[in-house]
Amino acid sequence: MNALLQLKNITAHYGKAMAIDDVSLEVGFASIVTLIGANGAGKSTTIKSISGLIPLTRGEIWFNGQRIDKMSCQDRVKMGIVHVPEERRIFPQMSVLDNLKTGAYLRKDKEIIKQDLSDVFSYFPVLKERTAQSGGSLSGGEQQMLAIGRAMMASPRIMLLDEPTMGLSPLYVKEVIRIVKTISINKQIAMLLVEQNAKMALKAAQTGYVLESGRVIQKGSSETLINDEKVRKAYLGG
């Protein structure tokens, strides 16, 4: 088995409208893969189909050698598939600490959970300083760090990151991407990254897939895509 995650010709609909069509991709163990494409290309739908938020019309999803497309969202989380949704979706009225603890709600290993919380604070010191603050009182960049930290508390084997830098200042954009890469390397966590900033996403990833109108139209190493004339003109600003 060469891939941790495999999508095999998956198709999904919103009502009668086709959202993605015949999408196939692979994410290797502890690798970073990015999906790039225009708004409405099907990037977020692909992520949601993996986490179980959107059912498939046809096709198969395999994770660590096991078919999962009929599994519940909860069972996918137990297997190590953790979704960091667009716009962060933290619990604004809850404290930072309680937000982080919700990430571990399916786990029973209290000592390891305690160690994982310590690891989160090592990556995001600002969260340790603000454990008692409400999540909603944090800045946008800090909330994104909280969302990623919460995902880490679920003991993921893969994180599905949907637009993690949306609405952030340039300084926080660089910091969030740096931390994602560091976590992937240090914790051996695979990342599937959906990002509007295609150039930044390709520089962070090893492999990229280009989606257009719900279909994969191109794939390759990040270097290959960055140097492809059509990709540069369409997604990288020339």
Digit-coded pLDDT (tens) for 181-223:
999 999 999 999 998 889 999 999 999 999 999 999 999 999 9
Q: How much is the average pLDDT of 40-61?
A: 96
The angle that helices 110-123 and 170-187 make with each other, rounded to 10 degrees, is: 140
CA–CA separation, 200 and 26 (whole Å) = 20
Digit-coded pLDDT (tens) for 150-175:
999 999 999 999 998 888 888 888 88
Q: What is the pTM of this model?
A: 0.93
Digit-coded pLDDT (tens) for 93-122:
999 999 999 999 888 898 999 999 999 999
Provide the β-strand partners of residue 81: 158
What are the structural domains of the chain? Answer: 5-90+156-235 (3.40.50.300)
The whole-number pLDDT of residue 1 equals 52
Per the CB < 8 A criterion, the answer to whether 90 and 147 are in contact is yes
Q: Quick one: CA dihedral 154, 157, 160, 165, positive or negative?
A: positive
